[in-house]
Amino acid sequence: MTSVLWFRRDLRLTDHPALLAAHDEGEVLPLVVLEPGQVADERPPARRLRRSLAALHGATGGALVVRVGDPVHLVPRVAEAVGAERVHITRDTTPQGRERDAAAADELSASDRELVTTGSPYAIGPGLVRTSEDTPYKVFTPFARAWRDHGWPEPAGRPDVEWRREADLLEGLGDDALPAVLAAADEEAVDGRAGEEAALERWRTFLDDDLADYGTARDRPDLDATSRMSVHLAHGEIHPRTMLADLAAHPDGGSEGLQRFVTELAWREFYADVLWHRPDSAWRDLRGALADLPYDEGPETDRLVTAWREGRTGYPFVDAGMRQLAAEGFMHNRVRMVAASFLTKDLHVWWPVGARHFLDHLLDGDLASNSHGWQWVAGTGTDAAPYFRVFNPVRQGERFDPDGAYVRRWVPELAHLPGATAHSPWDHDEGHAHGYPQRVVDHAEERREALDRYERTRA
């Protein structure tokens, strides 16, 4: 019997429960359905997705089917064409994904076919870690403790799949996007290789070379000491269970770096859990306490937001991060927090404006982590009393880029400034000699304004 495996953000063949479920039924037709805009989109996330799909096509021995269209209608038609009674998927826990999958299940059932959900992109599926009162966790620390206590299954193996090759039966079912996907395999990429093999190779390198120092070096964007696994996780090229199993077996199991890395994985799972229970928090404040907080709008604010997006705020640590995002589709997490704080607290702009810009450009864009990470900074999310947290972009730069190397890498107008002076060019006689812009706002004044707005809202 033939079944369809509908790939989404689970672009691998190892530790893939839905693939195992499909394999148990016989031949498997591997299917990807893209939205029309994803084929020609030249932004970093869309290009990265196409390269990952090209790697998956090779891993399936050329059997991968890639079509363009509305999956709610297209997937059932593909299943009918190949005589599949079941379509297997990994559970999508995002609000839009849940709606889409419910609609696809209804469409399939109309022709006596079934959408079978197995596994999720997380070590523990969102919604499964609950308090002793059987309620969702609202704060990270107790969630992380319960998450660790809950535990997760061992990684699944990699089956020897018999792939169904019946592309001729699918003529007329959506536009064939495979040529565009295969063309992406030859693209030069600043973010490294894509696909499951690349993910596993990068993971092994991190375990061998960088894990030991991760606890102390992870906040230093100048050192490039992070795992860079977030991109692979976002595309499902590796499952977090695989990573956790490797960490559990690692000889440095009690090290600060290893435990810190597990905590970072827990943050990813926590934010997914929050979004599962509160799908409205994807683009709205999780907590309503600051619903009346005033934000700036209008032409002048638009000008400032454009300067922020383009890395021309006059604050080097912020600008370096925004320029790295534009060039690589990546930004170090410490710099993400500083850039987000600048937009929300210095420019007084509501966080979804920045969150959408990040999702449009980040290769590791993840709705739950992105939206709730922004809310953590903005003060509207899971943190108990965070609005007083206003990152000083100069002090953050001096602390986490102490020699200014990260800034000089991404802001060449400041390459002539030595050491930490790159973080405050206005204090140097030649600081603006090569065209670096003046500061668009005064941080100290805007910090006071942000806190004043908060106090007025509370009152």
Which residues participate in the annotated binding site for FAD?
214, 226-230, 261, 264-271, 364-366
Nearest 5°: the CA angle 152, 375, 240 is: 20
Instruction: Judge residue 384's burial from the number of C-beta atoms within 10 Å of its C-beta, 0-12 exposed, 13-18 middle, 19 or more buried.
Output: exposed
d(CA 177, CA 183): 10
411: left (phi over 0), alpha (psi -120 to 50) or beta: beta
Q: Give yes or no for a contact between 63 and 380, defined as CB atoms under 8 angstroms apart.
A: no
Residue 132: count other Cβ atoms within 10 Å of its Cβ: 6
Counting beta carbons within 10 angstroms of the beta carbon of residue 254, is it exposed (0 to 12), middle (13 to 18) or buried (19 or more)? exposed
Alpha-carbon 156 to chain mean position? 23
- Rounding to the nearest 10 degrees, give the CA dihedral for residues 96, 73, 365, 30: 130
User: Is the distance from CB of 372 to CB of 351 less than 8 angstroms?
Assistant: no
Maximum CA extent, the chain: 75
Where is the binding site, in residues? 214, 226-230, 261, 264-271, 364-366
Burial of 20 (0-12, 13-18, 19+ CB in 10 A): middle
Residue 262 CB contacts under 8 Å (≥ 6 apart), including other chains: 148, 244, 247
Break the chain down into helix, strand, coil percent, rounded to 5: 55, 5, 40
Regarding beta strands 27-34 and 114-117, do their DSSP bridges make them parallel or antiparallel, or are they unpaired?
unpaired
Closest CA to 316 of 398, 238, 236: 398
Q: How many CA atoms lie within 13 A of 340 on its CB side?
A: 28
Burial category of 389 from C-beta neighbours within 10 Å (exposed 0-12, middle 13-18, buried 19 and up): middle
